[in-house]
C-alpha cells in the first residue's frame, strides 16, 4: 500500500467512526465484553492502548470474539510496538507522539498509522514522513480548538483526531471543525464501569453520544 492510500484508508475509517474510544484494559476477561458493549452502542472502531500487561492479549481476544469490532492499537511508542501491533492483524496504529525512528518505521510499514502531534514542528515532521492525518494530543491541554485552528492555517492539508480532555460535553464542538475527522477519548469506557462490569451502562452512553453527534451534524 502506498503512503497516501494508507493514510486515506485510516482517514476514511476515522471519518466514519466519528468517535474512537481509548481502551486501557486491566483484566483480560474484560476485553471482549467491553468491546461488545461498545459495538452494541454503535461504536465499532476502538483503540486498545499498550498500557497494561494484558493489552496485546486483550486486542487478540477482541479480534477473535467480537467480529464487528474494528480494532487498532494505541500508545505505540517505538518501532517494536508498531511491529507487535502489525503482527496482530489490527486495522491501524496510533501514537500519543512520534520519534524520528517511529516515523521512519511507520512510513515503511503497511499498517495505517497516525502519529501524535501537539506543535507545528511535530506536525511538520509528521507531514515530512507522509502523515497528514495525525492525532492532536493532548488536545484540550495543548490549547484546545484555538490551537487546532491556528495549526490549520499553515498546514491546510493536515487532518486531525484530537484526543485528551474530550468527552460527551465537547465532542460535537470538536467534530464541527472541518479538519477534525474523529475525536478520541476514554470517556466511553470509564474505569469504574469496566471494573464493575457495567456493560449496559457503557452501551447506553455510546448510544447517547452517537445520537447527540448525529443531531449535531444535521
Ligand atoms: C489518550 O491516550 O488518548 C488519552 O489518555 C485519552 O485522553 P482522555 O483520557 O482525556 O480521554
Q: Give the ligand 1 atom nearest the CA of 187.
A: 11
**Residue pair 185/167 in contact by the 8 Å Cβ criterion:** yes
Tell me the CA–centroid distance for residue 32 and ligand 1, in Å: 21
Residue 97 DSSP class: S
What the block records as the C-alpha cell of 153 is 492555517
Q: Cite the active site residues.
A: 47, 135
One digit per residue, pLDDT tens: the chain, 218 residues?
677 788 999 999 999 999 999 999 999 999 999 999 999 999 999 999 999 999 999 999 999 999 999 999 999 999 999 999 999 999 999 999 999 999 999 999 999 999 999 999 999 999 999 999 999 999 999 999 999 999 999 999 999 999 999 999 999 999 999 999 999 999 999 999 999 999 999 999 999 999 999 888 76
Question: Does CATH place domain 3-208 in 3.20.20.70?
Answer: yes
In the prediction, which pLDDT does 213 show? Answer: 92
> In a 10 Å sphere around its CB, with 0-12 CB exposed, 13-18 middle and 19+ buried, how is residue 106 labelled?
buried
Annotate 146-165 with DSSP letters as a single string: HHHHHHHTT-TT-EEEEBSS
Q: Give the ligand 1 atom nearest the CA of 47.
A: 3
Whole-number Å distance between alpha carbons of 162 and 147:
11
Mutate to test the pocket of ligand 1, among 160, 164, 182 (most ligand atoms within 8 A of CB): 164
Tell me the CA–centroid distance for residue 164 and ligand 1, in Å: 4
Residue 165 Cβ contacting ligand 1 at under 6 Å: yes
Residue 186 Cβ contacting ligand 1 at under 6 Å: yes
In the prediction, which pLDDT does 87 show? Answer: 97
In the prediction, which pLDDT does 218 show? Answer: 66
In the prediction, which pLDDT does 4 show? Answer: 79
Domain coordinates in residue numbering, the chain: 3-208
Residue 190 Cβ contacting ligand 1 at under 6 Å: no
Angle CA 104–127–56, to nearest 5: 50
Residue 74 backbone phi and psi in degrees, to 5 = -115, 175
Whole-number Å distance between alpha carbons of 208 and 102:
37
Whole-number Å distance between alpha carbons of 108 and 63:
24
Tell me the CA–centroid distance for residue 56 and ligand 1, in Å: 19
Residue 110 backbone phi and psi in degrees, to 5 = -80, -10
CA nearest ligand 1 atom 11, residue: 185
Whole-structure pTM value: 0.95
Whole-number Å distance between alpha carbons of 134 and 185:
15
Nearest CA to 56 out of 34, 75, 78 is that of: 75
What the block records as the C-alpha cell of 198 is 457495567
Amino acid at each position: 500500500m502506498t503512503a497516501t492510500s494508507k493514510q486515506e484508508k485510516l482517514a476514511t475509517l476515522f471519518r466514519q467512526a466519528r468517535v474512537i474510544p481509548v481502551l486501557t484494559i486491566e483484566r483480560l476477561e474484560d476485553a471482549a465484553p467491553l468491546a461488545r458493549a461498545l459495538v452494541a452502542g454503535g461504536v465499532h472502531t476502538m483503540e486498545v492502548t499498550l498500557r497494561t500487561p494484558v493489552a496485546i492479549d486483550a486486542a487478540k481476544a477482541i479480534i477473535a470474539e467480537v467480529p464487528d469490532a474494528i480494532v487498532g492499537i494505541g500508545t505505540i511508542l517505538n518501532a517494536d510496538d508498531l511491529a507487535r501491533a502489525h503482527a496482530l492483524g489490527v486495522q491501524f496504529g496510533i501514537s500519543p507522539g512520534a520519534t524520528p525512528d517511529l516515523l521512519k518505521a511507520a512510513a515503511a510499514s503497511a499498517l495505517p498509522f497516525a502519529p501524535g502531534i501537539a506543535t507545528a514542528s511535530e506536525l511538520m515532521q509528521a507531514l515530512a514522513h507522509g502523515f497528514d492525518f495525525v492525532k492532536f494530543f493532548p488536545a484540550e491541554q495543548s490549547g484546545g480548538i484555538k490551537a487546532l485552528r491556528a495549526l490549520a492555517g499553515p498546514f491546510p492539508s493536515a487532518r486531525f483526531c484530537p484526543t485528551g480532555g474530550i468527552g460527551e460535553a465537547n465532542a460535537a464542538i470538536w467534530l464541527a471543525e472541518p479538519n477534525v475527522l474523529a475525536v478520541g477519548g476514554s470517556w466511553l469506557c470509564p474505569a469504574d464501569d469496566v471494573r464493575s462490569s457495567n456493560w449496559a451502562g457503557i452501551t447506553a452512553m455510546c448510544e447517547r453520544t452517537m445520537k447527540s453527534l448525529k443531531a449535531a451534524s444535521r
